[in-house]
A = this chain, B = another copy of it.
């Protein structure tokens, strides 16, 4: 709320979403900046796609308002580029002279919306709110998966092997037989797995394995 909460004193800025804008038309950049700032949204504008890639993207819910027609590679190609680089920022396209095939390609590529100039301010704001919410949710699950993966990384090879078998529902004695081990060895590994994965019950562990996409590879 207060001005100094946005200062560099603390990472408070890491919590407010950002709208990125890429458009080669300076007047459009200005108009969009005003529009978004008028509703309290943080904005960052660029005149071309490479400019945005060179600035490092903050770890905040965000979206991108992207003109289809750009100097250099087109907005659609940039969308493809981002996807290839595993950057999943939601995109809202704007265009003055778009056609239907462009629109289809953009939407198939996961775009949130595709607005034709001139567009109504409210349509743009609606699209941006939707896009940021989508990004927020995506980051949420991504964070959960990343945390889980970090735990999984701490497992030894043997433990990972046994985790897969446990999650598939085998009994300790079956796992022992499958791996040529004594049952007690499996039990001990299993205890370590529970601790390392932070699982408080078998149900918990099974769900975590599910989230990690862990399945037995042997059939």
Of B114, B168, B200, which contacts A100 at CB under 8 A? B114
Report how far A101 CA is from B114 CA in the complex, Å: 8
Inter-chain contacts of A43 with B (CB < 8 A): none
Count copies of this chain in the complex: 2
Report how far A168 CA is from B207 CA in the complex, Å: 10
Spot the interface stretch: A54-62, A102-110, A133-141, A185-193. A102-110
In the complex, A201 has a CB within 8 A of chain B: yes
Cβ contacts A174-213/B at 8 Å (1 or 0 each): 0000000000000000000000000011111011001000
The answer to whether B98 touches A104 (Cβ under 8 A) is: no
Inter-chain contacts of A101 with B (CB < 8 A): 116
In the complex, A170 has a CB within 8 A of chain B: yes
In the complex, A113 has a CB within 8 A of chain B: yes
Inter-chain contacts of A170 with B (CB < 8 A): 201
In the complex, A166 has a CB within 8 A of chain B: yes
In the complex, A169 has a CB within 8 A of chain B: yes
If the complex has contacts A103-B103, A104-B103, are A166 and B203 also in contact, measured as CB distance less than 8 A? yes
Add 16 more A-B contacts to A101-B116, A104-B114 (CB < 8 A): A98-B100, A100-B103, A100-B116, A103-B104, A103-B107, A103-B114, A104-B107, A107-B108, A108-B113, A166-B203, A169-B201, A169-B204, A203-B206, A206-B206, A207-B210, A210-B210
